[in-house]
Amino acid sequence: MLFGSDNWAGAAPEIVDALTRASQGLAPSYGADAFTRSAERQFCEIFEREVTVFFVATGGAANGLALSVLTPSYGMIYCHEESHVQMDECAGPELFTGGAKLLPLRGAGAKIAPEMLQKAIAGYPARPPHGAPAKALSITQATECGTLYSVEELKALCDVAQAHGLSVHMDGARFANALVSLGCTPAEMTWKAGVDVLSFGGTKNGCFAAEAVVFFNPDMVGDFIYKRKRSGHLLSKLRFISAQFEAYFSEGRWLGYASRANAMAARLSEGLAKIDGVKIWYPTQANEVFVEFPAKLETALREAGAVFFPWVTPGDPSGGRMSRLIASFATTESDIDKFLSLANELAKSAR
């Protein structure tokens, strides 16, 4: 009954096997190895075009480094007020960009609406040298509330950004979960919609520590190779990241892992919604469930050993009463059913 985070799950067996294979013998360092070349080709195949890929070990590094090439240190980045870059990276984007300003925007379900972006842009007209010029938009797919931008919504948002000369970054920590839920292609959810740079996450979906920064426009890469090296994120044994992606993509495993996590979250959400007094705050579209329990039930669940955490954000509609439960590729039907059985039993006792 551990629903604290998909980061709690270990690596999938196929990923562990890939790491074992990568450890055999000698291989060139700093990405000049066969595993890295193979993974790079796979990214191009998946996104249906030539892309430039850089591997890093953490999502925070992927986001910060991606944004660092989209804005100068004096620029401004629009993002959602509940986004990871705003709430959970300890000013990492500001560090990587050299001090660029994050301008958080509001929006239901952690989504930025095109009209909200348009209003924000109009409210911060260019005022050189006093006002920080807007340079980028950062969006999250799936969002921090487990909601999704449809392909049409992504296109509309990117159209507004591009009309005002903004580059578009996507934080895809749960990219695979969003993709299988929408049933579209990676290309349709990124560059075909107008996304310029993607932080592609594997760690939350079965990998050990595997993240990538994907550039869909080679002209935007700039001095990224130096930024990655200077920040300490060019691993000498880079093959231990790229080998994970090689196995991750093979036989569509990444989509299978995400589908399993999403299905378990849906099972959990549907079961909880049937319990009197329990409220599901956001539609369960990926692998996260945002729920409000009656106070006595929540306490009883925790005392019985269930693990989940409060979810308090600037746009919290629950007034601080919401919790987040997350399923992973490793979550089983038994895990879900055990928790639901306990919740139903405790709810009856509370009445």
pLDDT of 55-102, one tens digit each? 999 999 999 999 999 999 999 999 999 999 999 999 999 999 999 999
| Domain with 53 in it | 14-251
For residues 243 and 35, what is the distance between their CA atoms, to the nearest angstrom?
Answer: 5
Q: Is the predicted pLDDT of residue 110 greater than 70, yes or no?
A: yes
Residue 5: inside a domain: no
Assess contact for 64 and 92: CB atoms under 8 A: yes
**Would you say residue 7 lies in a domain?**
no
The last residue of a domain, from among 226, 251, 276 = 251
Asked if residue 143 is part of any domain, the answer here is yes
Quick check: 136 pLDDT over 70? yes
**Whether 18 and 72 share a structural domain:** yes
Whether the per-residue pLDDT at 194 is higher than 70: the answer is: yes
Return the pLDDT at 241.
97
Which is it for strands 167-172 and 134-140: parallel, antiparallel or unpaired? parallel
Q: For residue 1, is it within any domain?
A: no
For residue 4, tell me if it sits in a domain: no
Domain boundary among 207, 229, 251: 251
Average model confidence (pLDDT) across the chain = 96
State the DSSP string of 219-286.
Answer: GG-TTHHHHHHHTT---TTTHHHHHHHHHHHGGGHHHHHHHHHHHHHHHHHHHHHTSTT-EE-S---S
Query: Taking residues 287-312, what's their average pLDDT?
Result: 95
Check which CATH number belongs to the domain holding 181 and give it: 3.40.640.10
Same domain, 239 and 341: no
Backbone CA torsion sign across 197, 181, 82, 105: positive
In this prediction, residue 25 has a pLDDT band, given cuts at 50, 70 and 90, of: very high
Task: Indicate if 210 and 90 belong to the same structural domain.
Answer: yes
Verify that 121 and 186 share a domain, yes or no.
yes
The answer to whether the CB of 149 falls within 8 A of the CB of 194 is no
- Tally the domains of the chain: 2
Q: What is the pLDDT of residues 35-68, one digit of tens each?
A: 999 999 999 999 999 999 999 999 999 999 999 9
The confidence score (pLDDT) of residue 351 equals 65
pLDDT at 347: 87
Please determine, for residue 219, whether its predicted confidence score (pLDDT) is greater than 90: yes
Does residue 2 fall inside a structural domain? Answer: no
**pLDDT one-digit tens code per residue, 259-282:** 999 999 999 999 999 999 999 999
Residue that the structure tokens 């992973």 belong to: 328
Looking at the structure, tell me whether residues 226 and 303 fall in a common domain.
no
Q: Are residues 205 and 96 in the same domain?
A: yes
**294 in the same domain as 243:** no
Q: Spell out the alpha helix ranges (H) of the chain.
A: 13-22, 34-46, 59-68, 84-87, 92-97, 114-123, 151-163, 175-182, 224-230, 239-249, 253-273, 295-303, 333-350
- Domain co-membership, 185 together with 314: no
Whether pLDDT at 193 is above 80: yes
pTM reported for the whole predicted model: 0.95
Question: Does residue 3 lie in a domain region?
Answer: no
Going by pLDDT thresholds of 50, 70 and 90, the confidence category of residue 304 is: very high
Does 337 have pLDDT greater than 70? yes
Last residue of a domain, one of 199, 218, 251: 251
Q: What percent of the chain has pLDDT over 90?
A: 97
Q: Are residues 233 and 258 in the same domain?
A: no
Check pLDDT > 80 for residue 8: yes
| CATH code, domain with 298 | 3.90.1150.10
Q: What is the pLDDT of residue 349?
A: 80
Percent of the chain with pLDDT over 70: 99
For residues 211 and 265, state if they share a domain: no
- Average pLDDT score over residue span 209-234: 96
Query: What radius of gyration, in Å, describes the C-alpha atoms of the chain?
Result: 21
| Residues 136, 232 within the same domain | yes
Does residue 162 sit within a domain? yes
Residues 200 and 285 in one domain: no
